[in-house]
């Protein structure tokens, strides 16, 4: 694996989607963990199928030799009127992850994303300068809490949110304290938001502490951009897949990670309909592809 010291995990969202509730509803926690473990992955992120009780969850994860790596946390720090309740919710979330031995808190600002159920559209309202400052202040407070508890806040730039484009990512990174706010590098959302995934990796490598690797089907992305359909609709149409099955070239990405000596988790993701894209087969394919790239580099 070259100079890298990597642990491969895969998100349980490949089996049970967190937003599209009918995707994977029939999978049990045991089935998901058994399949992930059987392929040699070492960890996964929290799933809605998992128990919230830490004793029960530790027992379940231990039965399959798996680590819980993190869990997504939406925040609304850009609205100062919500700060007290949002920070309390964040601390409770971080406490849960700490109890599970996690080192990273995946965090994303969800404010200013307005759903319109009547026509199933979403409007993302750009943050004002004042809202940007509130977001930064909130992330610093949350990041400080993580730091005090031996954890790191990793910000997840994400499609259909206020930090999606290359310019928005740059502003967030320039505005935040690198000791308190780190980056979750996501190859798929980088490409989705118009960034060059390799360039983004190189520009912000020193801020990256946690990695999601997923691929993009460019034909679906272009249809999405032309039609203006919402993110969730694009997911239904198959915009994401596992590394090696889409348009992103992962060889130079893995070369850079090897050259820079990346140490930590690489989490495979592919939000797909598990009835159409068998999760275990795609998970096996992704692991073989990434391990072959790593072997070639070594």
Per-residue pLDDT of the chain (298 residues; tens, 9 = 90+): 347 899 999 999 999 999 999 999 999 999 999 999 999 999 999 999 999 999 999 999 999 999 999 999 999 999 999 999 999 999 999 999 999 999 999 999 999 998 887 777 889 999 999 999 999 999 999 999 999 999 999 999 999 999 999 999 999 999 999 999 999 999 999 999 999 999 999 999 999 999 999 999 999 999 999 988 899 999 999 999 999 999 999 999 999 999 999 999 999 999 999 999 999 999 999 999 999 999 898 7
β-pairing, 121-124 vs 113-116, is: antiparallel
1-66+214-298: CATH, from 3.40.630.30, 3.20.20.150, 3.30.470.20, 3.40.50.300: 3.20.20.150
- 67: number of Cβ within 10 Å: 16
Cα separation, 170 vs 189, in Å, equals: 15
1-66+214-298 and 70-206: same fold?
yes
Architecture of the domain made up of 70-206: Alpha-Beta Barrel (3.20)
Instruction: List the domain boundaries for the chain.
Output: 1-66+214-298, 70-206
**211 has which bridge partners?**
185, 266
Single pTM value for the model: 0.96
Mark 106-118 as b/e (b = at least 16 C-beta within 10 Å).
bbbbbbbbeeeee
pLDDT of residue 2: 44
Count the helix, strand and coil residues of the chain and give each as a percent rounded to the nearest 5.
45, 20, 35
Q: Are 251 and 213 in contact (CB under 8 A)?
A: no
Cα separation, 18 vs 156, in Å, equals: 16
pLDDT of residue 285: 97
Residue 160, SS3 per DSSP: coil
Pick from 175, 81, 80, 158: nearest CA to 113: 158
Cα separation, 186 vs 116, in Å, equals: 27
């Amino acid at each position: 694996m070259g100079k890298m010291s990597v642990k491969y995990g895969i998100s349980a969202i490949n089996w049970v989607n967190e937003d599209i509730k009918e995707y994977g509803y029939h999978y049990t926690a045991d089935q998901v963990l058994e399949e992930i473990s059987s392929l040699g992955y070492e960890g996964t992120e929290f799933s809605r199928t998992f128990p919230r009780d830490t004793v029960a969850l530790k027992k379940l994860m231990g039965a399959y030799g798996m680590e819980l790596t993190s869990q997504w946390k939406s925040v609304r720090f850009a609205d100062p009127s919500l700060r007290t309740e949002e920070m309390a919710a964040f601390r409770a979330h971080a406490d849960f992850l700490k109890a599970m031995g996690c080192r990273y808190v995946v965090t994303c600002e969800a404010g200013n994303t307005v759903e319109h159920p009547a026509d199933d559209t979403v409007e993302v309202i750009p943050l004002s300068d004042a809202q940007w400052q509130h977001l930064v202040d909130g992330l610093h407070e949350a990041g400080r809490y993580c730091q005090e508890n031996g954890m790191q806040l990793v910000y997840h730039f994400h499609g259909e949110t206020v930090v999606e484009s290359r310019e928005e990512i740059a502003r967030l990174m320039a505005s935040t304290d690198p000791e308190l706010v780190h980056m979750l590098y996501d190859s798929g959302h980088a490409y989705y938001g118009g960034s060059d995934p390799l360039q983004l990796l190189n520009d912000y490598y020193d801020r990256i502490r946690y990695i999601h690797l997923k691929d993009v089907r460019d034909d679906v992305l272009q249809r999405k951009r032309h039609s203006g359909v919402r993110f969730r609709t694009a997911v239904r149409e198959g915009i994401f897949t596992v590394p090696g099955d889409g348009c992103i070239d992962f060889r130079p990405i893995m070369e850079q990670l090897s050259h820079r000596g990346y140490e930590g988790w690489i989490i495979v993701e592919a939000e797909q309909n598990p009835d159409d894209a068998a999760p275990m087969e795609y998970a096996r394919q992704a692991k073989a592809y990434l391990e072959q790239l790593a072997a070639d580099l070594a």
